[in-house]
Structure 1
Amino acid sequence: MTRRGVRRVLPLILGWEELPRSVSVHGAPHGERVREPVPGVLLETEEGWLLLDTGFNTALLRDPELRRRYYPSPSYQPELPGPGEPLPAALAAVGVALEEITAVAVSHLHADHAGGLKHFAGRVPVHIQRAELEFGLSGRPEVERETIFRVDFDDPRIDWRLADGDQEIVPGVTAVLSAGHTPGHQSFVVDLAEGGGYVFTCDAADLTENIDEERAAGTSIGVPPEATLAPIRHLKRLAADKGYELVPGHDPVVWPELIRRLTGGQGHRRHGRTVPPTPRR
């Protein structure tokens, strides 16, 4: 008998980020850079399509004045994957319309994860940890310095569903508190209806080396870098106990390969054709 759980997992790439490797790995050598994918995950559940993370707010990147305002550092350069809106385009590439999304969950409020919430305000529930939203709306000056932009999510139309720790979102999808990178960061355990599953670390572990070598996250809010190791180890134990694949949040090798396996390459298209992304370092 088929168990309750997720029927399909469709990983997406919603953009790219050119940045120092030390942003992902604490203590990485100065000057090393990496081009990382901006991820999203589309899950077909019993209750409809659930989207994990939403990519960038395109207006802040395409308008020259807004880009200078929100992304002033030349060391961090976000890229959009094409001329249109990345999220609807990525969904269309896997045969799903934006209007078919029935719920959203965001791992945290960094600009590369929460910028697409504008598409869902007034439409569907959005799951988040209470501590994350409270920090984002706190008005503290360090919030924006940490690349959390209030303009992305301070919308009274958003139907927030707040969690205080681990919580099942829908049958087969559990949010797991993995704070450290941000005050209310959450990762996701996905149980497949056919058996097996995935643990998506999101930014608790950006790269494979964060997991395999237990390297601390390169950025954290309110805690020292070494405090980010506890969530990594917890997620590793969860994945090992369940026998699930553990997926790092921004790995430039893992994400294109996962897309190839689960969607046949459909998750990354540019100008109407599938383009295999090539990581640059």
Structure 2
Amino acid sequence: MEERPPRSIVKRLYLMQVGSVPEYQIPIVCYLVQTEDGENILIDTGLPEVLPEEASDFENGEDVVRQLARIGLEPGDIGTVISTHYDIDHAGRHAAFPTAQYVVQRVHHLDAAGNPRFAANRPEWDQPMERIRLVDGDAELLPGLELIETSGHVPGHQSVLVRLPHTGTVVLTVDAVSFGQDFTRDLQDNGRNEDPEAIRRSTIKLLDLTEREAPCLVVFGHDQAQWAGLKKLPEFYE
């Protein structure tokens, strides 16, 4: 990730709010990347269509499948799903994309197999292994789209870097940094993360990355104040 690719084949980034946690007004979100050669890459899939008892704090909105339909896409048009992690508000519609390859950190997929935290959502994320691409650490998925290993919230969590031709670099922190107030080098032990020291290391890693890249936009995973001012589908960043 040290050398910047000469050009980006990524042309467009859509942001979607697909639900919320009403008590705290926290948005539940996912993203779509489109490339110059027609690839559609989904980042997370939001909440399940039917919420289990374990997810009673969440509320569905316009789900990812219906939002994609607004821009003319069907589930079969999604070639890749980047799964940042298997929490139910991020992987709740994985099974809705019948031809997609799922990209997830190896350590996370292996941990999830025996972790009760992810059991209720297992029918969504536990796809046939021939459809799952396991990655180890930071990786360039394609020019202009990079995975950033950011453990702490859960083992093997990953954030995403997108380079757009006009907007520039966009960093999607996802749950490595859920709220802008936590984007600091200080320890944030707020009870939302399995490993506070690991999340601190990941936060510093993202801070260092943004300083090197000087991105135009850092999007935090659940920051309602920020999300209220962002472009959302059908608008996009390019």
User: Please, what TM-score do these two structures have when normalized by structure 1?
Assistant: 0.74
User: Do the aligned partners of 1:103 and 1:124 also contact (CA within 8 Å) in 2?
Assistant: yes
Match of 1:236 in 2: 207
Aligned-partner SS, 2:93: helix
Shift of 1:263: 4.5
1:108 aligned to which of 60, 82, 85: 85
Classify 1:227/1:156 alpha carbon distance in 2 versus 1 (closer, same or farther; 3 Å).
closer
Aligned-partner SS, 1:50: strand
Classify 1:216/1:90 alpha carbon distance in 2 versus 1 (closer, same or farther; 3 Å).
farther
Aligned-partner SS, 1:253: helix
Match of 2:136 in 1: 164
Output the CA distance in 2 between the equivalents of 1:228 and 1:116: 26
Classify 1:97/1:166 alpha carbon distance in 2 versus 1 (closer, same or farther; 3 Å).
same
Match of 1:80 in 2: 60
Q: Do structure 1's residue 178 and structure 2's residue 150 form an aligned pair?
A: yes
Give the letter aligned to residue 113 of structure 2: L
User: Do the aligned partners of 1:4 and 1:171 also contact (CA within 8 Å) in 2?
Assistant: yes
Output the CA distance in 2 between the equivalents of 1:178 and 1:238: 12
Output the CA distance in 2 between the equivalents of 1:198 and 1:204: 15
Shift of 1:153: 1.5
1:53 aligned to which of 35, 41, 44: 44
1:10 aligned to which of 3, 11, 14: 14
Aligned-partner SS, 1:40: strand
Give the letter aligned to residue 249 of structure 1: G
Output the CA distance in 2 between the equivalents of 1:193 and 1:185: 27
Structure with larger Rg: 1
Match of 2:73 in 1: 96
Give the letter aligned to residue 141 of structure 2: I
Q: Do structure 1's residue 219 and structure 2's residue 192 form an aligned pair?
A: yes
RMSD after superposition? 2.4
User: Do the aligned partners of 2:95 and 2:123 also contact (CA within 8 Å) in 1?
Assistant: no
State the aligned residue count: 228
Q: Do structure 1's residue 38 and structure 2's residue 28 form an aligned pair?
A: yes
Give the letter aligned to residue 55 of structure 1: G
Aligned-partner SS, 2:91: helix
Output the CA distance in 1 between the equivalents of 2:212 and 2:119: 34
Output the CA distance in 1 between the equivalents of 2:31 and 2:124: 19
Aligned-partner SS, 2:153: coil
Structure 1 gap segments, 5+ residues each: 20-33, 62-66, 266-281
Deviation per CA, 1:11-30, whole angstroms, max 9, x where unpaired?
011111245xxxxxxxxxxx
Q: Trace 1:117-156 onto structure 2 (pairs within 5 A).
A: 117-121=94-98, 123-138=99-114, 143-145=115-117, 149-156=121-128
Bigger helix fraction: 1
Aligned-partner SS, 1:190: strand
User: Do the aligned partners of 2:10 and 2:34 also contact (CA within 8 Å) in 1?
Assistant: yes
Structure 2 gap segments, 5+ residues each: 1-5
Give the letter aligned to residue 124 of structure 1: A
Output the CA distance in 1 between the equivalents of 2:13 and 2:230: 10
Aligned-partner SS, 2:92: helix
Aligned-partner SS, 1:39: strand
Give the letter aligned to residue 137 of structure 1: A
